[in-house]
Amino acid sequence: DAGVIQSPRHEVTEMGQEVTLRCKPISGHDYLFWYRQTMMRGLELLIYFNNNVPIDDSGMPEDRFSAKMPNASFSTLKIQPSEPRDSAVYFCASSLRRGGWYEQYFGPGTRLTVT
């Protein structure tokens, strides 16, 4: 089975530009998570969805960040306008709730550089 797919793997953009990161979760999984990894702050949860509905977006840093999940097989994380401090690796993860627990399976990440 294919794992979580993220695109692009690398993105370099200039400050002020709009950036869109994409994620395809594992088929059948009902939770989708967006994380950001930086040297300073480590791994942070930004937002997660359950059955395509955003449940908790308290980790989204500011209004420049937005995330959508129009269907069960696709999600986007958008930054508009981008700033150099947004440079990080962004991970998408998905999981299936079975009984009391589930494991989160991570995608390969998108390395974003904002110059």
Partner 1 sequence: AQKVTQAQTEISVVEKEDVTLDCVYETRDTTYYLFWYKQPPSGELVFLIRRNSFDEQNEISGRYSWNFQKSTSSFNFTITASQVVDSAVYFCALSEGRISSGSARQLTFGSGTQLTVLP
**Applying CB under 8 A, which residues contact partner 1?**
31, 33, 42-43, 45, 48, 50, 55-56, 89, 91, 93, 95, 97, 101, 103-109, 111
Reading the block at residue 110, the tokens are 């998108």
Shortest distance (Å) from residue 113 CB to partner 1:
14
Between 80 and 110, name the residue whose CB sits nearer to partner 1: 110
Between 65 and 90, name the residue whose CB sits nearer to partner 1: 90
d(CA 87, CA 100): 35
d(CA 100, CA 49): 18
Between 45 and 72, name the residue whose CB sits nearer to partner 1: 45
Beta strand pairing call for 31-38 and 88-95: antiparallel
By residue count, the chain amounts to 115
Shortest distance (Å) from residue 79 CB to partner 1:
20
Shortest distance (Å) from residue 2 CB to partner 1:
13
Q: Give the CA count within 13 Å in the CB-facing half-sphere of 87.
A: 11
Beta strand pairing call for 10-13 and 110-114: parallel
Between 37 and 66, name the residue whose CB sits nearer to partner 1: 37
